[in-house]
Amino acid sequence: MDAQVQSGETAGEGEKSYVQILKSTAVIGGSSVVNIAFAAVRNKAIAILLGPDGVGLMGLFNTIADLTQTVAGLGVQASGVRQVAEAVGTGDEDRIARTAIVLGRVSVALGLLGGLLLTALSLPVAQFTFGDRGHAAALVLLSLAVFLKLVSAGQTALLQGLRRISDLAWINIVGALASTIITIPIIYLFGEQGIVPSLVAVAATTLATSWWYRRKVHLPKPATSLLQTRRETTMLLKLGFAFMASAVLTAGAAYAIRLIILRLGGFEAAGLYQAAWALGGLYAGFILQAMGTDFYPRLTAVCEDNQECNRLVNEQAQISLLLAGPGLMATLTAAPLLMVLFYSSEFQAAADLLRWICLGMMLRIASWPMGFIIVAKGAQNIFFWTEVAATVVHVGLAWLFVSLFGLTGAGIAFFSLYVWHTALTYVITRTMSGFRWSAANLGLGSLFLAASAVVFSVFYLLPLAQAVAIGALVSVASGVYSLRMLLKLVPRENLPLGHWLPRWI
């Protein structure tokens, strides 16, 4: 009898967890749909106005800003989320408020540091990246965007730690709208000279939006002594270092790969890569973002309980695969069309690259929930050296495969990275928490990987019309299958728009 009650409680917990995962994903996903719509308009306009060369230049400026933000940010945004989530778990309002105060002050200080860092290094960075110092003035202006983004990152870290998912979704929507409204006119008026001013203007709008939602958080204002400030700051920076190192390695790898492509094919090749990379991550992005926004704080709260931790990871992976699989297969099928729709006919040459990136994204979505075990348990050394190895493997494979296969080699390198990374992460988490894939996830992952391999292969083996027909059929079938599986996990009324679904599904 007790076993039956325990089994019923476990099933009830599982259903609640699935509902929570779907709700958070639906909120972030809803904002992502809006973001995709704005991104389609924005990317199309920029592609027409600037062409592949201009898109490549914009991608390089974005990468430089991201890398500087990552170095100067010292991982405080990620560690801030964890610190706030831990404070929330104690129920101590004063502790939450102190953490929020220190997080805000540290973010402003790091923003100033980041701006000064890029300004001081503008000449050597311009010379190393572009081969001349003509872009140094633009990098000095870009430092203002770095400052604004770091201050905004501290505010969104607080909201994420408090799990204010709706506020974060609105920040994303307003940011996408502002980015579109601001960027297109500036690029239209000033061409390539308007790229950096548009990035600064968008960063300012993002900061204003995050500040607006931050001010809605009502916390007490406890007296915070110098000792308490120092203790909170030390905790943020100590944990943040591992996050910073990881993010620097990721951003550094992105920068290095763009340089490899730039040296091989110039700004046009860099623009094609930027377009395929942005499009490949568009659909998968909202699932990965939902993981970081809601799943990470939830996992942190139970990280000492290995059984509960492993259960949450399996549930998150299952929902993520069911949501991502059909969309990624549709992207494999419609890759050339999507490049034209989101950019222009000049970008069609990146269709094969996009397909390889999609295969890598499928593995990324499968492996990310496991990776959060390492982060939630605070295993800084393991986390750091795993990221070091991943960076070396990614850049090394990119250098090799781009040399052998041209631009498409960058996509092959990304896919190969996640074959290796998924296996490595599984071994590490198996050791740390006894994690094992559930039977349902093993079957689901095998099914979607096999279907993806079929869709990918037919474009190299069959005439285009037959390949598109098979790809469309597999995409629709996988979509129906995912819906039916979701309905087995979650009651119809808890699915977004579930009442609109046909009864035969």
Do 239 and 82 touch, CB atoms closer than 8 A? Answer: yes
Most confidently modeled of 77-81, 344-348, 382-386, 426-430? 426-430
For residues 378 and 128, the model is more confident at 128
In the numeric block, the tokens 């679904």 are attached to 501
218: alpha, beta or left? (left if phi > 0; alpha if psi -120 to 50):
beta
Would you give the distance in Å from CA 40 to the centre of its chain? 18
Do 429 and 373 touch, CB atoms closer than 8 A? Answer: yes
Choice among 247-261, 283-297, 314-328 with the minimum mean pLDDT: 283-297
Do 352 and 405 touch, CB atoms closer than 8 A? Answer: no
- Give which of 19, 59, 66 is closest to 43, Cα–Cα: 59
Q: What is the predicted pLDDT for the residue at 24? A: 61
Mean pLDDT within 53-74: 86
Do 73 and 245 touch, CB atoms closer than 8 A? Answer: no
Helix 2-73 × helix 306-333 angle, to 10°? 70
Tokens standing for residue 183 = 């960027």
Model pLDDT for residues 93-124, shown as the tens digit of each residue:
888 888 888 888 889 999 999 999 999 999 99
Q: What is the predicted pLDDT for the residue at 290? A: 65
Rg over CA atoms, the chain: 23
Do 324 and 362 touch, CB atoms closer than 8 A? Answer: yes
Model pLDDT for residues 134-153, shown as the tens digit of each residue:
889 999 999 999 999 999 98
Backbone phi, then psi, for 504, in 5-degree steps? -75, -15
Do 335 and 255 touch, CB atoms closer than 8 A? Answer: no
Choice among 37-46, 288-297, 413-422 with the minimum mean pLDDT: 288-297
Q: Is the pLDDT of residue 164 over 70?
A: yes
DSSP states along 328-358: HHHHHHTHHHHHHHHT-GGGGGGHHHHHHHH
Helix 136-161 × helix 2-73 angle, to 10°? 160
Cα(211)–Cα(152) distance, integer angstroms: 7
Mean pLDDT within 417-426: 93
Q: Looking at this protein, which amino acid is placed at residue 501? A: L
In the numeric block, the tokens 């709008």 are attached to 205
Model pLDDT for residues 475-502, shown as the tens digit of each residue:
999 999 988 888 777 665 555 555 545 5
Cα(328)–Cα(324) distance, integer angstroms: 6
pTM of the model: 0.71
Cβ neighbours of 502 (radius 10 Å): 7
Q: Looking at this protein, which amino acid is placed at residue 21? A: I
Percent of the chain as helix, strand, coil, to the nearest 5: 90, 0, 10
Q: What is the predicted pLDDT for the residue at 112? A: 94
Q: What is the predicted pLDDT for the residue at 487? A: 79
For residues 110 and 229, the model is more confident at 110
H-only helix segments in 162-295? 165-190, 195-214, 226-290
Model pLDDT for residues 4-51, shown as the tens digit of each residue:
333 444 444 555 566 666 666 666 666 667 777 787 788 888 888 888
The SS3 call for residue 219 is coil
Tokens standing for residue 78 = 């990620």
Mean pLDDT within 204-217: 88
Q: What is the predicted pLDDT for the residue at 84? A: 83
Cα(70)–Cα(59) distance, integer angstroms: 16
21: Cβ–Cβ under 8 A, 6 or more apart, which residues? 290, 294, 295, 315, 316, 319
Tokens standing for residue 468 = 């598109």
Cα(114)–Cα(143) distance, integer angstroms: 7
In the numeric block, the tokens 């704080």 are attached to 297
